[in-house]
């Protein structure tokens, strides 16, 4: 860990106080707050207080010390043993020591000359979008549930456009379970700005009723939201699930910067914007207007970055009700593995985790062709509210024939404060109280490569798939 600490220190211009020296806010603490805390702790963001200045941070000195020592803050921190990430917020031991020492030595302000320049946060946005589009307002009811909604919008770009970031910004973050974006070939007659969803049969608690089939197709509700009109998915969302989502918002997550990997994402001309929007009622009725901002690439890249979610083994992944079932009361249910074999050399840049309220932990492992196993990411304390995207400081070169296995556990016991009804089994589903088991990977590929040819998912015999030579 020392090595990363040092690398980050120099990269971000940190100066970590050596023991014996005075620790001051301006010199030592503010750089840490800028890099690790202010994205949330500033006016208008999720956290309750601002940590932008000495005056606003000073009263919180003791609380900050306690929160970082217990690794409660920043939220979503990974097991620091594995992987070097640029934005997972996990503090190094030296950063924790610096904050603790500052709090213990009178929380001194120090010399203003030592302070780094303030970060130019763009209000509301984390990126600085060149182009912004807006979804129509959606009224989220106070109670009950809202199905996952598909919305088609016109593409703001008339010609092929490479972007280095796509940021999805919900109007009411607390009510947004997820929001994803992809691009699909334009279809004449497509209706822009209408909300489409599957009419899933649910019981009073909002749980999908067993035996009632999940409708395969998205239905179309025209002007009357209660009216369900059949509209084959193919008419609306060509190349459905296979297309993946390019930009994705989840609670706590930050947008990707493709430029960091000297790559970009191509938004093809003649496509429509397809948004997947899933709101969860929060006890009061709210109206959400979600926006999407695009940062246009300065130049055409040689490499593309693609994001894909992975499905668990079984018949239909997490919707397999036989294999993918979290038993009532189980505090540590192991889900079926998510397995991938790479059919060509690739570079892994990004990993992220999407589970719902019972999600407990997730671990990514690579097995190289020689049988050597390496853990590349371990999230031992998953929290639904902090679904980070973990960007590797350096991409991992994955040779052809390498296997990736992702393992996850779920907690359906009373000790999980989010588990709504631990007396009942939990199955896969769209709602927060149902479950998902969706690791994501981001791969950097030459722009000529067809992403569909890069890897195979859940191949061959499951028992034979993972036979490590050694592990560590």
Residues that bind ligand HEC (CB under 6 A): 36-37, 39-41, 46-48, 60, 63-64, 67-68, 72-75, 89, 91, 252, 386
Whose Cβ is closer to ligand HEC: residue 250's or residue 360's?
250
- For the CB of residue 59, give the shortest distance to ligand HEC in the complex, in Å: 10
Whose Cβ is closer to ligand HEC: residue 57's or residue 163's?
57
Contact present, 168 and 159 (Cβ < 8 Å):
no
What is residue 82's three-state secondary structure? coil
| The Cα angle at residue 172 between residues 170 and 174, in degrees rounded to 5 | 105
- For the CB of residue 52, give the shortest distance to ligand HEC in the complex, in Å: 12
Cα 126 from Cα 393, distance rounded (Å): 19
Burial class (CB in 10 A: 0-12, 13-18, 19+), 129: buried
HEC assignment per residue over 124-182: CCCCCCCEEEECCCEEECCCCCCCCEEEEEECCCCCCEEEEEEEEECCCHHHEEEEEEE
Give helix 2-11 / helix 93-104 axis angle, nearest 10°.
70
Q: Give the helix/strand (H/E) hosting 439.
A: strand 437-446
Cα 324 from Cα 39, distance rounded (Å): 36
Alpha carbon 231 to chain centroid distance? Answer: 30
Cα 225 from Cα 310, distance rounded (Å): 32
- For the CB of residue 385, give the shortest distance to ligand HEC in the complex, in Å: 7
Cα within 13 Å of Cα(200), Cβ side: 23
- For the CB of residue 419, give the shortest distance to ligand HEC in the complex, in Å: 18
Whose Cβ is closer to ligand HEC: residue 384's or residue 465's?
384
Cα 19 from Cα 161, distance rounded (Å): 51
- For the CB of residue 28, give the shortest distance to ligand HEC in the complex, in Å: 13
What is residue 242's three-state secondary structure? helix
Q: Is the peptide bond before 424 cis (omega within 30 degrees of 0)?
A: no
Cα 71 from Cα 96, distance rounded (Å): 9
Whose Cβ is closer to ligand HEC: residue 129's or residue 252's?
252
Whose Cβ is closer to ligand HEC: residue 68's or residue 236's?
68
- For the CB of residue 448, give the shortest distance to ligand HEC in the complex, in Å: 37
359 DSSP 8-state letter: E
Whose Cβ is closer to ligand HEC: residue 36's or residue 354's?
36
- For the CB of residue 173, give the shortest distance to ligand HEC in the complex, in Å: 10
Whose Cβ is closer to ligand HEC: residue 41's or residue 313's?
41
- For the CB of residue 128, give the shortest distance to ligand HEC in the complex, in Å: 19
- For the CB of residue 62, give the shortest distance to ligand HEC in the complex, in Å: 9
Whose Cβ is closer to ligand HEC: residue 60's or residue 433's?
60
Contact present, 245 and 192 (Cβ < 8 Å):
no
Whose Cβ is closer to ligand HEC: residue 8's or residue 340's?
8
């Amino acid at each position: 860990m020392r090595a990363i600490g040092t690398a980050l220190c120099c990269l971000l211009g940190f100066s970590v106080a050596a023991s014996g020296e005075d620790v001051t806010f301006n010199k030592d603490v503010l750089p840490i707050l800028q890099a690790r805390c202010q994205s949330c702790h500033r006016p208008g963001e999720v956290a309750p207080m601002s940590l932008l200045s000495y005056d606003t941070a000073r009263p919180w000195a003791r609380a900050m010390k306690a929160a970082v020592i217990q690794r409660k803050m920043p939220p979503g921190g990974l097991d620091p043993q594995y992987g070097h990430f640029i934005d997972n917020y996990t503090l190094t031991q030296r950063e924790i020591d610096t904050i603790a020492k500052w709090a213990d030595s009178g929380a001194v302000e120090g010399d203003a000359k030592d302070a780094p320049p303030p970060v130019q946060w763009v209000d509301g946005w984390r990126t600085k979008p060149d182009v912004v589009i807006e979804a129509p307002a959606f009224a989220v009811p106070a109670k009950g549930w809202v199905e996952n909604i598909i919305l088609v919008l016109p593409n703001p770009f008339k010609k092929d456009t490479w972007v280095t970031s796509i940021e999805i910004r919900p109007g009411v973050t607390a009510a947004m379970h997820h929001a994803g974006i992809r691009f699909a070939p334009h279809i004449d007659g497509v209706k822009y700005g209408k909300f489409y969803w599957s009419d899933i049969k649910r019981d009073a608690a909002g749980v999908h009723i067993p035996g009632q089939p999940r409708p395969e197709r998205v239905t179309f509700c025209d002007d009357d939201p209660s009216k369900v009109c059949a509209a084959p998915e193919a008419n609306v969302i060509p190349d459905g699930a296979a297309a993946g989502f390019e930009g994705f918002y989840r609670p706590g997550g930050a947008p990707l910067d493709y430029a960091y990997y000297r790559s970009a994402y191509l938004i093809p001309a003649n496509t429509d914007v397809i948004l997947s929007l899933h709101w969860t009622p929060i006890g009061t009725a709210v109206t959400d207007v979600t926006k999407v901002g695009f940062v246009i690439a300065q130049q055409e890249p040689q490499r593309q970055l693609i994001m894909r979610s992975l499905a668990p083994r079984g018949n239909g992944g997490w919707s397999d009700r036989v294999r993918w079932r979290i038993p009532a009361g189980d505090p540590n249910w192991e889900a079926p593995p998510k397995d991938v074999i790479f059919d060509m050399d690739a570079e892994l840049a990004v990993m992220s985790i999407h589970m719902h309220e019972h999600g407990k932990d997730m671990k990514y492992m690579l097995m190289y062709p020689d049988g050597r196993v390496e853990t590349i990411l371990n999230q031992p304390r998953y929290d639904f509210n902090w679904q980070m995207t973990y960007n590797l400081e350096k991409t991992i070169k994955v040779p052809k024939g390498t296997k990736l296995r992702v393992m996850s556990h779920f907690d359906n016991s009373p000790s999980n404060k989010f588990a709504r009804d631990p007396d009942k089994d939990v199955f896969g589903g769209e709602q927060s109280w149902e479950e998902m088991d969706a690791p994501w990977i981001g791969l950097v590929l030459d722009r000529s490569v067809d992403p569909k040819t890069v890897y195979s998912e859940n191949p061959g015999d499951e028992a034979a798939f993972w036979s490590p030579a050694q592990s560590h």
